[in-house]
Structure 1
Amino acid sequence: MSTLSILYKSFSGLQSFSHSLNNLSHNVANINTPGFKGTSVHFRDMLSDQNKGGGVHYTGETLKLTQGDISRTGQDSHLAIDGKGWFVLTDGEREYFTRAGQFEFDQWQLVDKSTGYKVLGIRDGNIQNFNLNHYNISSPQSTTSIQLKGNLNAGAATGTKVPAEGEEKLEAVYFNKLGEKHTLYFSFTKKTGNEWTVAVKKSETETLATHTIKFNGNGSPHADSANLSVKIDDNQSIKLNIGQSGTFANLTGYSSANSSVAFNAEDGREAGQVKGLSFDHTGKLSVEYTNGDKQDTLHVLLANLPNDQYLTSVGNSMFVYQERSEIVYGHGGQKMFGTIKGGSIEKSNVNMSHEFSEIIIVQRGYQASSQVLSVTNKMIEELYNSARGK
């Protein structure tokens, strides 16, 4: 065995430990990188021409695809996958896969914060950009029914008015088709028997409707008063819901000390702006609006990548996948996929204690290979000096 062979083996050892240290430094540097997947390096022994030990050579790296810890961020658009699956991003030409869910909305498009790539979603089986342009406003809804509750005194004298002159007006708020808020004014006048006249006004001078309200002997609304309505204009009519005959949940006609009526619009709303966003465990986004409306939108698209050998890192905690025929798409909670944690991110899966123990091993190995190299160098120097007769 030649001394030069020993030098080569020592150099190969130094190179292998340099590869290891380079990999360890990359892992440690990304300990706080969301969605980062650490790597392990691999080496194999080599044979010389005489089929004897020829040193070591570097054979590549393998991704560690274990899940990192999930950390709560409190930002609605941040997402983490608890279990299997990858988020799918696109730059408009190709797809990228990541576990780093630091997303944000840019003009209602959900994008990756670091690259600006668009996040893909799925709705009714159709894959599309996760875009909320159709959900950024809740449409207004016109009022169709106003509920009347309270009691009109059956013992009041004929001609009694509610409200009496000087008392606070009886008002009910309603919305038109444009979501504009308006007010109706109500006044009641006692007739003979247990009957009242209700006048509905849009203003002091504009009366929209006048109806007679009758009560049964037990104080419940008479059936003849079940279908009262007010025509606001050609586009809108509002039903006055005073209750059903034989029931006492709405307006009643009991004898009492006084009359008291309250109003509640049963529907209708103004246009609403986005108030809050929330993802459920399946990755479905629900949007809450300022008008009280709530709508379900898309699911965040997940991909199942069964064969790790086709994954290639392209930086930014993203990967491309070379074998498209094996990709299965879906959303959280389905078979083959984990669940989604909203307002959270998955942290790096690098184990710091493990990396430091590996660093110590690499350091010792590098020192040992360096020592072998140093001894071999002295042997060659001694041989050189002997050859020169020194």
Structure 2
Amino acid sequence: MFDTIFIGTSGLLNHAKGLRVVGNNLANVNTPGFKSSQLQFYSLFEQSGGRPSQSEGARNLVRTGSGLGSFGTQINFRAGLEQGTGNPLDLAIDGNGFYAVKRGDNLLYTRAGDFNFNAKGILVNSAGDHVQGLENGQLTDISLDKLERSAPKATATVTFRGELALTAATPPIDKTLAGVTVLDANGVDHPLSLSFHNEGNGVFTVTAKDGANATVATGQIKFSGGVPVAGSNSLSFSYTPAGGAAAPLLLDFSKLVSVETTTVPISVASQDGYAVGVRTDQTFDADGLLTVQYSNGQKVSGPRIALADFSSEGALEEAGGSTFRTVGGAEAQYGYAGTGGFGKLASGRREGSNVDLAEEFGNLILMQRGYQASSHVISTANDMIQQLFDMKGNR
């Protein structure tokens, strides 16, 4: 009967552990990326396992149990419910994979994708762990340090659109266009003005002048059938802006048309130069590629988020903060979202907890009933021992 008390005690202790696991699951029902666990029970038997040895004979055909034990917790890695956050840096993995994060010198893994850039411009999660990217097969921090500004670009091509009148006036009247802006290598604006002199027969002489009204280039463009003739539809020259270095500049008139009477004035359709830009926004696409936008309208691609995979779910154990660490020398295989079996990323969303409330409340009842039954076993065994003592006392 003393063995029965030990058996009941093992039931109390292990169901109390199970209750703690269930309570932890329920407490983290709203924790992003949290994975629920379940305590694994096993029964304790005497060493022979209930099989009699040849020397013992038939008198020991039945072996009684020795109580309840637990192996530990098993993590449930099923995906949690996605939640919309409105933060474009939050990312949910739609499919297979884990994010790799650095916590000090330790490399951890998580499905929680609540990300932001810290004061140093490094991508971190809500716990401050550094989210890892993958460059040339090596894990590295995702940083905005070299992406804060967009360098200026000098104008190389200015494209024009509009109409020129074929009929030449007497005396000829030049069509002028002022306010054409080109940028030098430092992103500084410089004004140009153009004049178009009708020479007749679809030929126009174009003259370009700078802000000081000095001629910087002159040439001819020709039209046939109302459209510019290839090879005679542009003006190319070396332009030296005030205070700047000489650079090639092409004035493209291929989008102009010639008509008898103009109704559409000539204007600048586009120019490919831009000033220096500062970072205004940053987002990740479905493949985990960082895209940075600048005030000058430019975009540039940055690092790409790394995803990790493992040969088995048993390769991971909990490390706190919805993160996991490898055990038993397990190694991760790294790759990018959308490749090699890894899932895609959904921006503006994050993975929530995978705790199933109905399942956990059911487990809660089972743990309570198991604890209650074990306590009754102890109480009954104690009553039987007390009766034995009473028999001795009443002899």
For the criterion TM > 0.5, the same-fold answer is yes
Shift of 1:351: 0.8
- CA offset digits 1:220-248 (Å, max 9, x no partner): 445674441354313323211112xxxxx
Q: Is residue 242 from structure 1 mapped to residue 240 from structure 2 by the alignment?
A: no
Given that 1:199 and 1:207 are in contact with CA atoms closer than 8 Å, whether structure 2 keeps it comes out as no
Q: CA deviation at 1:48?
A: 4.6
- The answer as to whether partners of 1:215 and 1:252 remain within 8 angstroms in 2 is no
Residue number among 89, 98, 105 corresponding to 1:93 in the alignment: 105
1:68 aligns with 2:80: yes
2:16 aligned residue: 18
1:246 corresponds in structure 2 to: none
Superposed counterparts of 1:174-193, under 5 Å: 174-191=182-199
3-state DSSP of counterpart to 2:296? coil
Quote the residue 1:247 is aligned against: none
User: Matched residues in 2 for 1:326 and 1:103: separation?
Assistant: 25
Q: Is contact 1:153-1:259 (8 Å) kept?
A: no
Spell out the pairing of 1:1-390 with structure 2 (5 A cutoff).
Answer: 3-48=1-46, 51-106=63-118, 107-114=120-127, 116-157=128-169, 158-163=171-176, 170-191=178-199, 194-203=202-211, 205-216=212-223, 218-221=225-228, 225-233=232-240, 234-243=245-254, 250-256=255-261, 260-324=265-329, 326-389=331-394
Shift of 1:352: 0.8
C-alpha change, 1:122 and 1:224, in structure 2 (3 Å) is closer
Report the alpha carbon displacement of residue 316 of structure 1 after superposing the two structures with TM.
0.7
Percent of residue pairs identical: 29
CA distance in 2, matches of 1:85, 1:386: 67
Look up the SS of the partner of 2:165 in the other structure: coil
CA RMSD of aligned residues (A): 2.6
**Residue deviations 1:341-376, cap 9 Å, x none?**
222211111111000011111222222222232233
Taking the aligned partners of 1:46 and 1:258, their CA distance within structure 2 comes to: 97
- Aligned to 1:84, what secondary structure does the other structure show? coil
Residues 333 and 44 of structure 1: CA distance in aligned 2, closer, same or farther (over 3 Å): same
| 8 Å contact kept, 2:239–2:247 | yes
Structure 2: how far apart are the matches of 1:97 and 1:300?
13
Distance in 1 between the 2:357 and 2:172 partners?
87
Q: Which amino acid aligns with 1:242?
A: F
| AA of the residue aligned to 1:277 | Q
- Shifted more, 372-381 versus 73-82: the winner is 372-381
Distance 1:12 1:197, change over 3 A: same
Distance 1:386 1:81, change over 3 A: same
Contact 1:86/1:304 (8 A) holds in 2:
yes
Aligned 8 A contact 2:84 2:349 in 1:
yes
Native 8 Å contact 1:215 1:253 kept in 2: no
> Which moved further from structure 2: 10-19 or 214-223?
214-223
1:215 match: secondary structure = strand
Which amino acid is 2:260 matched to?
S
Matching residue's letter, 1:74: G
TM-score with structure 2 setting the length: 0.86
Off by >6 Å, runs of 4+ in structure 1: none
SS of the residue corresponding to residue 7 of structure 1 reads helix
**Distance apart, 1:199 and its partner CA:** 3.5
Q: Is the CA contact (8 Å cut-off) linking 2:163 and 2:262 kept in structure 1?
A: no
For 1:59 and 1:373, the matched residues in 2 are separated by 23
Q: How many residues align?
A: 375
Q: 1:93 to 1:129 in 2, by over 3 A?
A: same
C-alpha change, 1:253 and 1:215, in structure 2 (3 Å) is farther
Measure the CA separation in 1 of the matches of 2:71 and 2:263. Answer: 93
User: Per the alignment, do residues 79 and 110 of structure 1 end up closer, same or farther by CA in structure 2, a change over 3 Å counting?
Assistant: same
Q: Is the 8 A contact 1:304 1:336 kept in 2?
A: no
Deviation larger for 36-45 or 116-125: 116-125
CA contact (8 A) 2:167 2:200 kept: no
CA contact (8 A) 1:153 1:258 kept: no
For 1:361 and 1:98, how far apart are their aligned partners in 2? 30
Aligned to 2:155, what secondary structure does the other structure show?
A: coil
**SS in structure 2 opposite 1:35?**
coil
The change in CA–CA distance for 1:252 and 1:335 in structure 2 (over 3 A counts) is closer
The change in CA–CA distance for 1:346 and 1:191 in structure 2 (over 3 A counts) is same
> Which residues of structure 1 form unaligned runs of 5+?
164-168, 244-249
Unaligned runs of 5+ in 2: 48-59
